[in-house]
């Protein structure tokens, strides 16, 4: 979308919310009861695209760590990637005017088939998706649920994770974190608390530097989110062991993969 178009959408959203505010004020006798024409002309599509331009479609972030409260904020952003005989997890990484971008593991996408694969959202929606691509350097790949596939109303109810680029630099050893992923039941989201032990441990199995922690990961949680206590995405859960070890791709590598694949 052209820059001027984005500004217009932003203006529509600002006008809409100002209009809502003004309508709550007492109306004097003799004043017209209808809102201004510009407010009446703002459509649902205008509001959606304006909020996209303002980057308002992400989960809230806490000021102080609280794992349970953070879980409540972000649980709607973790999806189940259903591939028939297998399933994995993903997170809504970005909301765009074209649809919802899902980040997951490259090894999860190895089982994906566009003619039969389904993304199941915690909100109760499900939709097909198409592969945007996978990174050559780390275990990250992306799907996109197109706006036409899921519909504007359903898309407007989704929220992406907060994945600020500065989050990685704030992570520290011994930090309490939590992981979210899909469970065996279609609408089940698994919460597991953990402790971050290392932010850049080289793990030969994955061929790169990974987040390493002490926690528990079940089958099917691959591609799910690793979050700090405020609800910010710090990485994608990639694997675990029976010794309560977990590993994930750091969020900075997820961003690098996204730029590599999409050019955004």
* Chunked mean pLDDT (size 10), the chain, 264 residues: 50 47 43 53 84 92 96 97 93 96 96 93 95 95 96 95 82 93 90 95 90 92 96 95 93 95 88
pLDDT at residue number 164: 81
Q: Are the C-beta atoms of 42 and 48 separated by less than 8 Å?
A: no
Q: In the numeric block, which tokens belong to residue 147?
A: 């706006």
Largest Cα–Cα distance of the chain, in whole Å? Answer: 76
pLDDT at residue number 21: 39
What is the model's pTM?
Answer: 0.84
Q: Are the C-beta atoms of 237 and 107 separated by less than 8 Å?
A: no
Q: Residues 172, 174, 176, CA angle at the centre, nearest 5°?
A: 95
DSSP 89-138: EEEEEEEETTEEEEEE-HHHHTT--TTT-EEE-TTS-EE--EEEEE-SSS
pLDDT at residue number 8: 55
pLDDT at residue number 205: 86
Q: Are the C-beta atoms of 39 and 16 separated by less than 8 Å?
A: yes
pLDDT at residue number 145: 97
Strand partners, 195: 176, 214
pLDDT at residue number 24: 41
Distance, in Å, from the CA atom of 5 to the CA atom of 1, rounded to the nearest integer, reads 6
Q: In the numeric block, which tokens belong to residue 156?
A: 């407007």
Distance, in Å, from the CA atom of 145 to the CA atom of 132, rounded to the nearest integer, reads 10
pLDDT at residue number 44: 83
């Amino acid at each position: 979308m052209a820059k001027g178009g984005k500004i217009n959408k932003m203006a529509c959203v600002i006008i809409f919310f100002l209009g809502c505010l003004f309508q709550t004020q007492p109306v004097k006798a003799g004043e017209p009861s209808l809102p201004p024409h510009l407010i009446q002309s703002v459509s649902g599509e205008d509001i959606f695209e304006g909020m996209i331009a303002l980057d308002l479609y992400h989960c809230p972030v806490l000021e102080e760590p609280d794992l349970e409260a953070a879980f409540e904020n972000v649980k709607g952003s973790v999806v189940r990637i259903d591939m028939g005989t297998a399933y994995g997890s993903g997170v809504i990484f970005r909301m765009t005017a074209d649809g919802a971008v899902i980040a997951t593991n490259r090894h999860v996408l190895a089982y994906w088939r566009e003619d039969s694969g389904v993304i199941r959202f915690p909100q109760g929606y499900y939709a097909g998706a198409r592969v945007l691509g996978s990174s050559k350097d780390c275990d990250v790949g992306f799907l996109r649920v197109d706006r036409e596939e899921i519909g504007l109303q359903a898309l407007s109810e989704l929220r992406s994770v907060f994945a600020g680029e500065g989050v990685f630099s704030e992570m520290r050893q011994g930090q309490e974190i939590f992981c979210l992923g899909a469970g065996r039941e279609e609408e089940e989201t698994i919460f597991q608390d953990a402790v971050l032990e290392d932010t850049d441990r080289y793990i030969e199995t994955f061929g790169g530097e990974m987040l390493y922690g002490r926690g528990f990961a079940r089958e099917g949680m691959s591609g799910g989110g690793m979050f700090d206590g405020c609800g910010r995405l710090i990485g994608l859960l990639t694997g675990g062991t029976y010794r309560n070890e977990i590993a994930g791709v750091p969020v900075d590598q997820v961003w690098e993969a996204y730029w590599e694949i999409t050019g955004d």
